[in-house]
Amino acid sequence: MNSQFNKGVIEMCVLALVNQRDFYGYELVETISKRIEISEGTIYPILRRLTSEKFFETYLKESSEGPPRKYYKMTAAGKQETEKMLSAWKKFSSDVNSIIKGGE
Amino acid sequence: MTKTQFIEQLKKALSGLPQSEIDDIIRDHEEIIRDALAAGRTEESIVHSLGQPSELARSLKAEIKIEKAQDEVKLGAKMRGMFGALGAVLVLAPFNLIFVLGPMMALFGILLGGWATAVAITVVCFTVAIAFFFFTVVMPSGILGWVGIGFGFLGVMFLGLAGLGIMYMVSMMVAQLILRYLKWNLNFVKRQAGAV
C-alpha cells in the first residue's frame, strides 16, 4: 500500500485498539500486521507521538517472560480524538464505497 | 547490524538529550527488539525495520526539542527553544529551508516592528513628560499648562507600556504557532520519507 496513505490509517488503528484495552508495543505490531503489513519501526514513532500529544498514558508492568513492558492506556483526550477520527473515517469510507459502486 | 550495535549507535546518536529521555527511548527499543525476537523474527530484519540509528535519533531529537519549547512559559526560553527546534528540523530536512524560513522571517519582521514601536512610544513619552515637569521648575509661569501636557505624555507612555505587554503575549503566541507548524512540518517530512 502507498506509504503515506498507510501511516495515517495505522495511527487510527492504534488509537482504535488502545481504545478497547491497554496494549504494549509489540502486541500492537502483531495485531495490526495480521491484516496490514507493518513492522516494528512503524509503530514506535506513532506511539511516541500519541503519548506526547497526551492521548496515551504509559505504565510499566511486569511480564512473565522477562523485564517489564510498557503499556499504553487511553486518556480522556485520546478517547475524544479517537471518536472524532472514527466517525470521520466511517463517513469517508462509506462515501468512497458508494462512489466505487457507481452511485452518486 | 546486530541489536547490540543498533542500541549502542542509537545511544550515541541521542547524546545531547536529557539522560532520562535517552534511557526511555533505549528501554522502549530494547523491549520491541526482545518481543520481536521472541515472536520469531530475525535480528537482522528487526534492526533493518527500525531504520538507521542516526536517522531515528535526528528525528526524535527534533520532536523532543519542539515539545520542550512548547512547554516553556517564559518568552526568552521559548524563543531559544524554538530556534533550537528549528535547527533540528533543518538538519533533518535541509530542503525544507524555504518553506520554514520565509514565513518565519516575515513574522519576525512584524514582531520586531511591534516591539520597536512599543519601546519608542514608552521611552519618548517618558522623556517628554519629564521635560515638561522640568519646565515647571525653570518657568513657573503657566505652570498648570506644562503640568497638564506632562501628564498627557505620561498617559501615552502607559499606552506604550501596555503595548509592550501585548507584544510579549503576541510573541509567545507567534512562537507557539511556529512550533506547531514545525511539528506539522516534521510529520509531513517523515511521511514523505515513507517511514512505513
pLDDT one-digit tens code per residue, A4-45: 567 788 999 999 999 999 999 999 999 998 988 888 888 898
CB of B51 within 8 Å of a chain A CB? The answer is yes
> Is residue B196's pLDDT more than 50?
no
Q: Given this model, what pLDDT does residue A4 score? A: 54
Give percent of chain A above pLDDT 90: 65
Q: Are B67 and A67 inside 8 Å of each other by CB?
A: no
Question: Looking up cell 466517525, which residue turns up?
Answer: A87
Looking at the structure, do residues B43 and B75 belong to the same domain, yes or no? Answer: no
B29 and A44 in contact by Cβ < 8 A? yes
Residue B12 lies in a domain: yes
Looking at domain A3-81, its CATH architecture is Orthogonal Bundle (1.10)
Same domain, B47 and B72: no
Both B12 and B93 in one domain: the answer is no
pLDDT of B102 over the 90 cut: no
Is B19 among the domain residues?
yes
Structural domain harbouring B170: 62-192
Q: Which of A31, A30, A29 is nearest to A47 (CA)?
A: A29
Q: Which residue has the higher pLDDT, B161 or B92?
A: B161
Q: How far is A7 from chain B (nearest CA, A)?
A: 7
How far apart (Å, rounded) are the C-alpha atoms in residues B168 and A32?
47
Q: Are residues B33 and B66 in the same domain?
A: no
Q: Are residues B37 and B71 in the same domain?
A: no
Quote the number of domains for chain B: 2
What DSSP letter does each residue of B39-69 carry, written as one string? Answer: TT--HHHHHHHH--HHHHHHHHHHHHHHHHH
**pLDDT exceeds cutoff 60 at A1:** no
CA distance A50 to chain B (A): 12
Residue B106 lies in a domain: yes
pLDDT confidence bin for B105, thresholds 50/70/90 = confident
Examine residue B130 and state whether it is found in any structural domain, yes or no: yes
Same-domain pairing of B33 and B72: no
Residue B94 belongs to some domain of the structure? yes
B95 with B9, same domain: the answer is: no
Asked if the model's pLDDT at residue B73 lies above 60, the reply is: yes
Which of residues B195 and A79 earns the better pLDDT score? A79
- pLDDT (tens digit, 9 = 90+) per residue, B118-150? 999 999 999 888 888 887 777 766 667 777 888
Residues B141 and B161 in one domain: yes
C-alpha cell at A80: 475524544
For chain A, state the CA radius of gyration.
Answer: 15
pLDDT band at B195 (very low <50, low <70, confident <90, very high): very low
Residues of A within 8 A of B67 (CB-CB) are 52
B49 touches chain A (CB under 8 A): yes
Residues B100 and B196 sit within 8 Å (Cβ to Cβ): no
From A28, which residue of chain B is nearest by alpha-carbon distance?
A: B32
Average pLDDT of the segment spanning B61-77:
91
Q: Report, as an integer, the average pLDDT of A37-59.
A: 90
Could you read off the pLDDT of A65-102 as tens digits, one per residue?
Answer: 788 999 999 999 999 999 999 999 999 999 999 999 98
Check whether residue B44 and residue B116 sit in a common domain: no
pLDDT 10s digits, B149-189: 888 888 888 999 999 999 999 999 999 998 998 888 887 77
- Is residue B56, in this structure, part of any structural domain at all? no
Q: Which residue of B has its CA nearest to A1?
A: B196
Q: Which of A6, A42, A66 sits opposite B34 (nearest CB)?
A: A66
Question: Shortest CB distance from B32 goes to which of A4, A10, A40?
Answer: A40
**For residue A3, what pLDDT is reported?**
56
The answer, for A70 touching chain B at a CB cutoff of 8 Å, is yes
ipTM for the predicted complex: 0.86
- Helices A3-20, A40-52: crossing angle, 10 deg rounding: 60
Strand partners, A67: none
Q: How far A104 CA lies from chain B's nearest CA (Å)?
A: 32
* Residue range B40-53: mean pLDDT, rounded: 92
Closest-CA distance, A42 to chain B, in angstroms, reads: 5
Both B47 and B133 in one domain: the answer is: no
In chain A, DSSP finds a helix count (H) and a strand count (E) of 4, 3
Q: Confirm or reject contact between A89 and chain B (CB < 8 A).
A: no
Same domain, yes or no: B7 and B86: no
- Report if residue B57 sits inside a domain: no
User: Are both B111 and B183 inside the same structural domain?
Assistant: yes
Please state, in angstroms and as integers, the Cα–Cα distance from residue B47 to each residue in A3, A48, B20, B58, B90, following that order: 20, 18, 23, 17, 26
Q: If 0-12 CB within 10 Å is exposed, 13-18 middle and 19+ buried, where does residue B127 land?
A: exposed
